[in-house]
């Protein structure tokens, strides 16, 4: 990249199944207050706010107005970008590299508890050929999971191991919504949602918000002793219809990752990256995303999981925070992944600290079967 862009602070709410005690703006405030307090900045120091939220999920056709006041967007600059919060970091990075903006507040909020997931997702479907079928992201994910497991011989046990491991990791994360002591058997005997996906293979409904202050590298040195740099970032889309792509592969993720790796100078992800935070709405996705990111070959995600390398203390710990399966909202998840990487790289991750973590990978995704993929590399 032309210059360095730094994350000066990252804040998150505790993730919760139902924050009926707050409105959207009040929820975002909790995360924003943290980053302003840590940096000593006020909203008047913020040159630009970049936010992500989703109108249908907010039940308002201008969801950014729910947070206008708390991001300082009254008589000031605010952009709302689509998809995951990592996309907002991407836009913020470009703004800072333009040289015209120095301090950017990135905010992502979501109250999944207030909306009808299946209907919003059905409304996301292409209208002529797909929507009338009543598809949603669960049924399409199930089509993807089945195809992936069939093509590469991935087992339900291997997927269940992800569900177990991530929720065990969450026990060391005070912000996690649903840490759990469960076994592979518990996952395999949980209720079927849509074959082969079971209840414990899926993330819970979650409310929460995440905020971040990004600045130029030069400015960051005046704000924090522990800047974490955006080393590389990119995104990529798959075809929309599940019929128009090979569902068992995530080529868009590979393209996004390779672009981010090139910017960051990552040659061998398994060797060069110390910690990975993924957005896995369903357990099979963690195996698939690890393939797409190049930590193992296509179809090797199950064996990679079996090898134990993704465990805490393993070669490449994945989702020390507990991941999306332990409760993180859509839209927020990728930004929260980056926030966890900031803590890890700063050495502030408490009981879940990955020893000596210097380089982190944050992943965000949105849409049916991981249609939109975003990858960021963070480092010292």
Partner 1 sequence: MSQVTIKLEDKEIYVYEGQIYIPNKYAAGTIGSKVLINIRDKKKLLGMRCPECNKVYFPARQTCVECFGLLDEYVEVSDKGTVMTYTMCNESTIAQPVDTPIYAVIQLDGADTGFVHMLGGVEPEKISIGMRVKALFREKEDRRGSVLDIRYFKPL
Q: Which residues bind partner 1 (CB under 8 A)?
A: 20-21, 59-61, 118-119, 122, 127-136, 138-140, 142-147, 150, 191-197, 239, 241-244, 247
Look up residue 358 and give its two tokens. 């210097």
User: Of the two residues 77 and 151, which places its CB atom closer to partner 1 in the complex?
Assistant: 151
Nearest approach, Cβ of 125 to partner 1 (angstroms)? 9
How far is it, in rounded angstroms, from Cα 202 to Cα 218? Answer: 42
Exposure letters 156-185 (e unless 16+ CB within 10 A, then b)? bebbbbbbbbbbbbbebbebbbbbbeeebe
Torsion, CA 215, CA 220, CA 224, CA 228, rounded to 10: 70
CB of 313 vs partner 1, minimal distance in Å = 36
**C-alpha separations of 142 from 1, 63, 138 in Å:** 38, 29, 6
Nearer to partner 1, 1 or 193 (CB): 193
Q: In angstroms, what is the minimal distance from the CB of 57 to partner 1?
A: 12
**Nearer CB in complex with partner 1: 99/243:** 243
CA distance 229 to 214: 9
Q: Closest distance between partner 1 and the C-beta of residue 192, in Å?
A: 5
Closest separation in Å from C-beta 288 to partner 1:
14
Judged by CB, which is closer to partner 1: 69, or 192? 192
Closest CA to 326 of 222, 178, 195: 178
Are the CB atoms for 200 and 182 separated by under 8 Å? yes
Other residues' Cβ atoms within 10 Å of the Cβ of residue 262:
12
Q: Which one, 9 or 54, has the nearer CB to partner 1?
A: 54
CA distance 14 to 328: 9
Per the listing, tokens 């414990």 go with 200
Nearer to partner 1, 68 or 194 (CB): 194
Q: In terms of CB distance, is 193 or 205 closer to partner 1?
A: 193
Token pair, residue 217, equals 């590298």
Closest distance to partner 1 from the beta carbon of 191 (Å): 7
Name the minimum Å distance from CB 208 to partner 1.
Answer: 17
CA distances from 122 to 116, 144, 259, 298 (A): 10, 16, 31, 30
| Residue that has been written with the tokens 């292409």 in this structure | 126
- Taking the least distance from each CB to partner 1, the nearer of 37 and 132 is 132
- The least CB distance from residue 322 to partner 1, in Å, is 24
């Amino acid at each position: 990249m032309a210059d360095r862009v730094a994350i000066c602070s990252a804040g998150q709410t505790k993730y919760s199944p139902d924050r009926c005690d707050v409105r959207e703006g009040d929820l975002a405030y909790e995360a924003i207050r943290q980053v302003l307090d840590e940096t000593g900045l006020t909203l008047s120091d913020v040159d630009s706010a970049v936010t992500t939220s989703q109108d249908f999920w907010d039940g308002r056709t201008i969801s950014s107005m729910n947070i206008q006041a708390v991001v300082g967007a009254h008589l000031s600059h605010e952009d709302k970008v689509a998809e995951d919060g990592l996309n907002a970091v991407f836009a913020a990075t470009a703004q800072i590299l333009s040289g015209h903006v120095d301090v950017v507040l990135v905010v992502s909020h979501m109250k999944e508890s207030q909306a009808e997931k299946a209907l919003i997702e059905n409304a996301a479907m292409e209208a002529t050929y797909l929507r009338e079928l009543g598809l949603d992201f669960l049924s399409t994910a199930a089509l993807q999971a089945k195809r992936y497991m069939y093509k590469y011989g991935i087992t339900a046990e291997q997927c269940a191991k992800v569900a177990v491991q991530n929720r065990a990791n969450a026990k060391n994360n005070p912000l996690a919504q649903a840490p759990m002591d469960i076994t592979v058997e518990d996952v395999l005997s949980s209720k079927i949602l849509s074959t082969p996906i079971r209840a414990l293979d899926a993330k819970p409904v979650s409310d929460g918000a995440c905020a971040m202050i990004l600045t130029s590298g030069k400015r960051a040195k005046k704000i924090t002793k522990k800047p974490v740099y955006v080393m590389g970032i990119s995104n990529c889309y798959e075809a929309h219809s599940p019929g128009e792509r090979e569902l068992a592969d995530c080529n868009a993720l590979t393209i996004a990752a390779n672009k981010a790796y090139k910017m960051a100078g990552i040659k061998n992800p398994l060797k060069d990256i110390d910690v990975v935070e993924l957005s896995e709405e369903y357990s099979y996705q963690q195996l698939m995303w690890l393939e797409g990111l190049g930590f193992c070959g296509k179809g090797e995600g199950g064996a990679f999981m079996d090898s134990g390398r993704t465990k805490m203390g393993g070669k490449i710990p994945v989702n020390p925070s507990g991941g999306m399966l332990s409760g993180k909202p859509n839209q927020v998840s990728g930004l929260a992944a980056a926030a966890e990487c900031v803590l890890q790289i700063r050495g502030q991750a408490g009981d879940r600290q990955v020893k000596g973590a210097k380089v982190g990978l944050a992943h965000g995704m949105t849409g049916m079967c991981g249609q939109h993929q975003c990858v960021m590399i963070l480092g010292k």
